[in-house]
């Protein structure tokens, strides 16, 4: 672990009992107390997550909008200042380079938030494509800490630390402001299915803000939450994770992410032709979500079977602390994607699964 | 971390408590439950099944990982802790009491000699 990178909250995490593991080259807390307790606290009150390992890049210049609309599948042209947008960045063959958030700070000035595991690949990809546009690309990952405050008490906690009223901030909108006296970009986004925010903070002041949020939040039921709870929360919400539901060979047609692909926007974008062709012909494989009805987790790599034949592979699997059963997602042959006869093969025994349309629980992050 | 002095241990982080006669209770240690994290499922064999020492007899699963359970001694299963079916988290909260896994019949008393005492186990369970 000696070569692993440390976030601005490394000392904070260790001091608060974080069990540190290597994740995408970063020393990150997988849990502080219990994944199940941290998960439940986030659904019931609030969870505070260090997600500073995520990468950030700025895209600036007169050609920024045209550039982003060429490299991303979604349409940035309709964004106004203070708007955030989820998009895929696809390969020419329709596979996914990364999924990311775009923030429009001003005309010709955008911030991208990238998966930690993909930052280097993304920046190389973006830099290569940027050559044809009037645009400046800068990796600003080291400048920011990123804190996610998620859960029904998130805005109540923020209200105690902010002079500005943030409660009216719309879903997928952001403002630049101050929380606990620390300047930050407050984004009404998240990866848990709960109401909440993500706070982009100057790296050297991230720990100060985390301590303030923890102090105010703890009496309200807030818990520090690690990557373990982050994964079980996002899977309950049915959100895709790069390297699981999507990757360089599994794109928006397979992963039910066509809502992130704007086929109407002006001009070409990378992957458009391949995505259109796959949509027309129908994909070979589809991503499905499922419940097992039992407590045994079908972990990534587990076979999905139908009639004794392997028809797919589990790509995400965890235990839902809210449903008290194992849940997961799988990449299966398209022909069986609507079958009710699927099973997971756990240690040689087939356990029937129930296909489920995510989210697994009624969730309303826009509330 | 708790390592009760009156129990026997294995290098696989299981404990064994000798009862009267040739019966014993087995479970996993505090160190083991803490390493696994939130336990969600414990698979145990049928009453009457027999296992050799070192043989895998079941699985304990946590949110993070699945881990095989190994029989500490040559044994026959006399009783399983059925409460774990609905409350596997007892293994986390009470690894040496409510979270016991099985009652066994020790087939060969000599095999108990290979088990570790608390002091020897503590050396293995050091972080």
Kindly state the DSSP code that residue A159 receives in the 8-state scheme: H
Contact B89 A294 (CB under 8 A): no
Q: In the block, which residue shows the tokens 């994944």? A: A35
Query: What rounded mean pLDDT belongs to chain A?
Result: 97
- What is the model's pLDDT at position A2? 59
Give mean pLDDT, residues A10-35: 97
Q: Do A177 and A41 share a structural domain?
A: yes
- Residue A51 pLDDT class (50, 70, 90 cuts): very high
Shortest alpha-carbon distance between residue A232 and chain B (Å): 9
- What is the model's pLDDT at position A207? 98
Q: B52 Cβ partners below 8 Å, 6+ apart?
A: B71, B74
Q: What are phi and psi of A128, to 5 degrees?
A: -65, -45
Cα B32 to Cα B35, B60, B127, distances in angstroms? 5, 10, 11
Of residues A30, A295, A318, nearest to B88 (C-beta):
A295
Residue A106 lies in a domain: no
Give mean pLDDT, residues A212-219: 98
Looking at this predicted complex, what is its ipTM?
A: 0.88
Shortest alpha-carbon distance between residue B21 and chain A (Å): 35
Are A49 and A148 spatial neighbours (Cβ–Cβ below 8 Å)? Answer: yes
Residue A255 lies in a domain: no
- Residue A189 pLDDT class (50, 70, 90 cuts): very high
Among A203, A236, A269, which residue terminates a domain?
Answer: A236
Q: Do A148 and A35 share a structural domain?
A: yes
The CATH architecture one would assign to domain B8-124 is: Beta Barrel (2.40)
Cβ-based interface (< 8 Å): residues of B facing A: 37-38, 40-41, 43, 59, 61, 63-64, 66, 88-89, 92
* Domain tally, chain A: 2
Residue A345 lies in a domain: yes
Residue numbers of the domain that contains A295: 284-359
Q: Do A47 and A162 share a structural domain?
A: yes
Contact B92 A34 (CB under 8 A): yes
Contact A294 B41 (CB under 8 A): yes
Contact A34 B38 (CB under 8 A): yes
Q: Do A198 and A302 share a structural domain?
A: no
Alpha helix stretches (DSSP H) within A95-250: 119-130, 154-159, 206-217, 227-237
Residue A261 lies in a domain: no
Contact B89 A295 (CB under 8 A): no
A309: domain CATH number? 2.40.30.110
Give mean pLDDT, residues A210-221: 98
Closest Cα in chain B to A33: B37
A223: domain CATH number? 3.30.1360.120
Closest Cα in chain B to A299: B65
Q: How far apart are CA B31 and CA A30, in angstroms?
A: 17
Question: How many CB contacts within 8 angstroms connect chain A with chain B?
Answer: 40
Q: Do A297 and A232 share a structural domain?
A: no
Among A212, A236, A260, which residue terminates a domain?
Answer: A236
Closest Cα in chain A to B92: A34
Among A236, A270, A294, which residue terminates a domain?
Answer: A236
Residue A228 lies in a domain: yes
Cα A90 to Cα A69, A248, A260, distances in angstroms? 12, 8, 11
Of residues A30, A228, A297, nearest to B40 (C-beta):
A297
Q: Do A164 and A46 share a structural domain?
A: yes
Give mean pLDDT, residues A144-168: 96
Residue A100 lies in a domain: no
Q: Do A151 and A222 share a structural domain?
A: yes
Is a pLDDT exceeding 60 seen at residue A1? no
Residue A319 lies in a domain: yes
Q: A19 Cβ partners below 8 Å, 6+ apart?
A: A29, A30, A31, A32, A226
pLDDT tens digits in sequence order for chain B, 127 residues long: 899 999 999 999 999 999 988 999 999 999 999 999 999 999 999 999 999 999 999 999 999 999 999 999 999 999 999 999 999 999 999 999 999 999 999 998 888 999 999 999 999 998 5
Q: Do A29 and A149 share a structural domain?
A: yes
Q: Do A150 and A44 share a structural domain?
A: yes
Read off the pLDDT of residues A309-346 as tens digits, 9 standing for 90 and up: 999 999 999 999 999 999 999 999 999 999 999 999 99
Residue A3 lies in a domain: no
């Amino acid at each position: 672990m000696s070569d692993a990178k440390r976030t601005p909250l490394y000392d904070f995490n260790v001091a608060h009992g974080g069990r540190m593991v290597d994740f995408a080259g970063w020393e990150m807390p997988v849990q502080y107390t219990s994944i199940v307790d941290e998960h439940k606290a986030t659904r019931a009150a609030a969870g505070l997550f260090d997600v500073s390992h995520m990468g950030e890049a700025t895209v600036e210049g007169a050609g920024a909008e045209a550039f982003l609309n060429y490299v991303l599948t979604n349409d940035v042209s309709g964004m106004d200042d203070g708007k955030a947008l989820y998009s895929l960045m696809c390969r020419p063959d329709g596979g996914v380079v990364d999924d990311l958030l775009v923030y429009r700070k001003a005309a010709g000035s955008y911030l991208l938030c990238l998966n930690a595991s993909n930052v280097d690949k993304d920046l190389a990809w973006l830099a290569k494509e940027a050559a044809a546009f009037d645009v400046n690309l800068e990796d600003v990952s080291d400048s920011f800490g990123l804190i996610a405050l998620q859960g029904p008490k998130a805005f109540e906690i923020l209200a105690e630390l902010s002079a500005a009223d943030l409660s009216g901030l719309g879903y997928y909108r952001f403002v630049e402001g101050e929380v606990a006296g620390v300047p930050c970009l407050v984004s009404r986004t998240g990866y848990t299915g709960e109401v909440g925010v993500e706070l982009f903070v100057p790296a050297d002041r991230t720990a100060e803000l985390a301590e303030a949020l923890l102090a105010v939040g703890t009496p309200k039921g807030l818990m520090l939450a690690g990557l373990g709870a982050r994964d079980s929360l996002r899977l309950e919400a049915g959100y895709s994770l790069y390297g699981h539901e999507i990757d360089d060979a599994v794109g928006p047609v397979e992963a039910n992410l066509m809502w992130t692909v704007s086929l109407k926007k002006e001009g070409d974008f990378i992957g458009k032709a391949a995505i259109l062709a796959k949509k027309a012909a129908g994909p070979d494989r589809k991503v499905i979500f499922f419940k097992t009805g039992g407590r045994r987790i079908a972990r990534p790599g587990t076979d999905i079977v139908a009639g004794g034949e392997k028809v797919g592979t589990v790509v995400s699997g965890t235990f839902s602390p809210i449903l008290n059963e194992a849940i997961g997602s799988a990449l299966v042959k398209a022909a069986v994607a609507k079958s009710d006869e699927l099973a997971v093969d756990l240690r040689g025994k087939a356990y029937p699964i129930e296909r489920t349309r995510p989210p697994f629980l009624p969730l309303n992050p826009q509330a | 971390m708790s390592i009760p002095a009156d129990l026997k241990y294995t290098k696989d982080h299981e404990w064994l408590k000798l009862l009267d006669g040739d019966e014993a209770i087995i479970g996993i240690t505090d160190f083991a439950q803490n390493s696994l994290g939130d336990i969600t499922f414990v698979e145990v064999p049928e009453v009457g099944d027999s296992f050799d020492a070192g043989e895998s007899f079941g699985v304990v699963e946590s949110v993070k990982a699945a881990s095989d359970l190994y029989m500490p001694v040559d044994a026959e299963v006399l009783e399983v802790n059925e409460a774990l079916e609905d409350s596997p988290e007892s293994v986390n909260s009470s690894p040496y009491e409510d979270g016991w896994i099985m009652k066994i019949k020790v087939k060969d008393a000599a095999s108990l000699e290979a088990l570790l005492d608390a002091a020897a186990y503590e050396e293995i369970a050091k972080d």
